[in-house]
Structure formats: structure tokens, C-alpha cells
Amino acid sequence: MRLLITGGTGFVGRRLVERALQADHEVMVISRDPERARRVLPEAVRVADDAMDFVSAAPEAIVNLAGEPIADRRWSDSQKTRLVESRRHATRDIVALCEQLAAEDRAPRVLVSGSAMGFYGDQGDREVGEETPPHDEFAHRLCLAWEQEAQKAAAFGVRVAVLRIGLVLDAGGGTLAKLLPPFRLGLGGRLGDGRQYMPWIHREDLVAAIEFLLDGDGLEGAFNGSAPAPVTNAEFTRALGRHLHRPTRLCVPAPLLKLGLGEMSRLLLTGAKMKPVRLQEAGFTFRYPTLDDALAAIVSH
């Protein structure tokens, strides 16, 4: 299969590239920094900075993971605009490529486009499936704009699946990159009251879910990309401390997080008890269904 990936140098994208090459797919990557991408990706990967550079290659499938990191800086009005537009711009370019290829009767079969658990906004402790009505806040509006842009590819005969991704866990990056150092020093603790849910997924399961959606004819619309056993922040904190054999008695008070991070503190203080209802109904099996399964595999490395 000829597979085109945006965000191919990211934590999830790099692993997806590796797995695709192992499966003998022809892999192409769009990157804002092609030189850096060529340094970090295997030689077999074709790299360009514009989707239209791959018109002649006619990708059969596309995975869209590009977007400005959501938690790198405070959410000023200008940063919010950057977060939305980086996702819309990358996705718009992909849709334009689909339109061009459709005009030549070579449209890709499928687009798997990233979204995030933030689509649902703060959901308290209710169970959240793909049909749960969202809570209207910035994270929801960001994800909605991203998803709506991706769905435009359907007009050109492309099957579109949107994956609302939870916190991605694995060694060497993702959520644990910032958590492991303080936790290993015994400085880990819950955030606020710890009752907010943290939908999570092991990186291997996320990449497998992307592959599942690429191959699954008829699988379209929104899918929750998280493990079937979401946990609260307090449960996550205790589990990580237990696997690292470190105490987790500390707590970062909610007012302190709000003072330091402003509106972005909602990423840490609110959540959704998100379940992968549609993935499991379609027959997807998780290799790491529980947090203990995932942490045991990650921390043992």
C-alpha cells in the first residue's frame, strides 16, 4: 500500500512509519521541516513539505496526525488560533490532495485523521462513547474544527475515519516523558482533587488501531482512541507510583495550576471517562487493556 502520513516525525507517527515499513508499505511523509524529517526517519521514507508533492505518487491511504502541540505554551488568543489553524491547514492540504486525485480518478481509499479526547470537553464521571454530547469549550471547538475539515474528503469518495485520541503512553515520549522524572524522584502526586478522568492508550495499541481503521472497509466516522479502562488522575498517580516503587503523597492544588497555566489548566483538571465503544464493536482487540498492563510493559524497559 502507498501510505501518506502527516505528523510522521511525532511520537505516534514515528512508530506508525516503522510498522508500515515492516509491512512492506511504501511510506511518504509530509513535514514542515523536511531536512529534520529525513534525519530522523528511515531512508526508505519519501519526505516533502507539501501534500501536492505527492500527486504523482497517488497515495492509496492517508493518516493525518499533524498539529501544533496543545500543551507547549499558555493558551493566549493568538496561541489558540495557532492550535486551530495548524490542524485545519494541514488537514485542508490533505483534502485538496484528495480532490486533485479524485479528479484524476485516483482518489485515496481511506483517510484516518487524528482528533482528541478534548472533543468531549469536561464530562465529569459519566461514561463517554462516540455519541455522547460534547461540553462546549475551547478543546471541543478545536477538535470539532479539525474533524469537520477531515470529513470534507468524503465528498471525493474517500472513506474518512476520525480517531479521538487519549493520552498516549510509552517509553521515550508522549505523556510519560514529563511525568516519569518527577515520579522517579518521589515527587509525583495527584492534580487537584484527582477525580478527573484520564483516558489513555498505549502507543502500540494506538498504532494498531490506526492500522485497523486503514484496513477496515466500512469503518467511518468517529472512533474513541483510548483503552477500555480509563482511570481517574488519582488512580493513575497511584498506579505509576506503584510501578516505580515511589511514594505519591504530593498534590498540586487546582488554584495553583489555574494560576500558572490559565485556561490550559483545564487539560489537567478536567476529563472524560472515554470508552472505545465503536472500535471494540468492530472487533479491535487491545494488547494493553488496563493501565497496569501498559505500565508494566513500559516501566520494565
What pLDDT is recorded for position 78? 92
The mean pLDDT of 84-103, rounded to a whole number, is: 95
Residues of the chain above pLDDT 90, percent: 89
What pLDDT is recorded for position 236? 97
What pLDDT is recorded for position 71? 79
What pLDDT is recorded for position 301? 63
Binning the chain into helix, strand and coil, the percentages to the nearest 5 are: 45, 20, 35
Backbone φ and ψ of 241, nearest 5°: -60, -40
pLDDT in tens, 215-251: 999 999 999 999 999 999 999 999 999 999 999 999 9
Domains of the chain: 2-169+199-227+273-286 (3.40.50.720)
What pLDDT is recorded for position 149? 97
Largest distance between two CA atoms of the chain: 61
Paired residues of 160 in beta bridges: 111
- Alpha-helical runs (H) found in the chain: 11-22, 34-40, 77-103, 138-151, 175-184, 203-215, 233-244, 254-261, 266-269, 277-281, 291-299
What pLDDT is recorded for position 102? 98
pLDDT in tens, 259-293: 888 988 898 999 999 999 999 999 999 999 999 99
Residue showing cell 503512553: 169
User: What CA–CA distance (Å, rounded) separates 130 from 224?
Assistant: 6
The mean pLDDT of 74-92, rounded to a whole number, is: 91
Three-state SS string over 31-50 comes to CCCHHHHHHHCCCCCEEECC
pLDDT at 20 over 70: yes
Residue 111 identity:
L
pLDDT in tens, 44-77: 999 999 999 999 999 999 999 988 888 778 889 9
What pLDDT is recorded for position 191? 96
